[in-house]
Copies of this chain bind each other. A is one copy, B any other.
């Protein structure tokens, strides 16, 4: 950690900072420049981070030199984490093809969509039973009934299933049915929920919040991991932007950034990132070319009847075309995509 003092800091102020740091059991290294005094902190930075040194009079800035996440960092583990979702591997050269409707609507619809997407190459089936809706008057999902339908459909087609949990009181219930638990973007900093999910041993699909930095995202992964659950897959799904032409701004650079900073896998979700079917294929391919460990796509066979987010879903035929392109691209760049789902 480096502490930069204000230009007119007095000797007393410098000494006070030094004293505080030494009280924490750390050593200091004071460097007086022409204009500024800089104090280097030697020892376990974590101890110093908990102390509000920037609040001390005369301090201009406090600059940590270590990332605030530990378990999630590349420093903690050089080789990439491979998350195993009931037989489907994600990370370390293995790509996930996650697809399905926004919401589980009824058994027939779920079956039709599952048949289509698994034929096209999807190896994990998604579908929401609890939906985070901006409006209290909008469709909120089928609840446990939806979980059962999703489970049965996944079993029938031999693929693992992923679904979102919003309520810490329902983590156990969702974990009973799902092979992978999704934390949605709006809950990325719902620390209560992260903690609860960290206490299961289910793989977690952690979506990036709309205004979260990469560091924020890794800190949320750290919450899950610090509870003992290391099976975290990150998901880039767009951040807030100023151009209203797209729902969000797809930050494809998140993929190489995460790979530099962390050993955790990262997949991309161009459906939420753009909100526009006509942009999804290009963004999905961009994500794969950038090194993503998977692609998450919403697919619906009758978007105009979808109970949630219909306008951003691909049709099964569009998904099949995109999927073929992803498989071809994956081959060129040496990624493998498991075609075998979970056996019932």
> Which residues of A pack against B, CB within 8 Å?
2, 4, 7, 20, 29, 31, 33-36, 38, 40-46, 49-57, 60, 63, 65-66, 68-69, 75, 132-139, 166-169, 186-187, 189-192, 195, 209-211, 213-216, 219, 222-223, 226-227, 239-246, 249-253, 255-257, 259-260, 273-274, 278-279, 281-283, 285-291, 303-306, 309-311, 313, 328-329, 332
A209 (CB) vs chain B CBs: closest residue: B211
Cα separation A191 to B190 with both chains bound (whole Å): 11
Give the contacting residue for A240; candidates B211, B283, B289, B332; CB below 8 A.
Answer: B211
Q: Which residues of B contact A169 (CB under 8 A)?
A: 168-169
B252 touches A191 (CB 8 A): no
Best-surrounded residue of A241, A243, A279 (most CB of chain B within 10 A): A243
A51-B304, A56-B304, A137-B226 are known; give 6 further A-B pairs, CB within 8 A: A49-B138, A52-B306, A52-B311, A169-B169, A186-B190, A239-B249
A311 partner residues in chain B, CB cutoff 8 A = 52, 54-55
B253 touches A33 (CB 8 A): no
Instruction: Indicate if the CB atoms of A256 and B279 lie closer than 8 Å.
Output: yes
Contacts of A289 in B (CB 8 A): 282, 285-286, 288-290, 329
Q: Is B303 within 8 A of A52, CB to CB?
A: yes
Report the copy number of this chain in the oligomer.
4
Bound-state Cα–Cα, A340 to B301, Å: 47
In Å, the complex CA distance between A82 and B273 comes to 30
A24 to B327, CA, bound (A): 42
Contact between chains at A283 and B253 (CB < 8 Å): yes
Q: Which of B53, B190, B282, B290 lies in contact with A283, CB distance below 8 A?
A: B290
Q: Do B250 and A278 have beta carbons less than 8 Å apart?
A: no
**Bound complex: CA A286 to CA B286 (Å):** 4
**Cross-chain contact A310 with B240 (CB below 8 angstroms):** no
A286:B252 contact, CB within 8 angstroms: yes
Closest chain B residue to A195 by CB distance?
B136
Q: Complex Cα distance A332/B56, Å? A: 33
How far is it, in angstroms, between the C-alpha of A286 and the C-alpha of B284 when the chains are bound? 9
A245 to B211, CA, bound (A): 14
Rounded to whole angstroms, the CA-CA distance of A275 and B34 in the bound complex is: 29
Give the distance in Å from the alpha carbon of A33 to the alpha carbon of B222 in the complex: 25
Which chain B residues lie closer than 8 Å to A54 at the CB level? Answer: 310-311
Docked CA distance A274–B254 (Å)? 11
Contact B282 A138 (CB under 8 A): no
Give A197 Cβ to nearest chain B Cβ, in Å.
13
With a cutoff of 8 Å between Cβ atoms, the chain B residues found around residue A246 in the complex are: 253, 257
Residue of B whose beta carbon sits closest to that of A70? B137
Contacts of A38 in B (CB 8 A): 2, 38, 40, 65
A-B contact pairs, 22 of them (CB 8 A): A2-B2, A2-B4, A2-B38, A29-B33, A31-B40, A31-B42, A33-B40, A33-B41, A38-B40, A52-B310, A55-B303, A63-B63, A134-B216, A135-B222, A186-B190, A241-B249, A250-B251, A253-B279, A253-B283, A259-B282, A286-B286, A329-B332
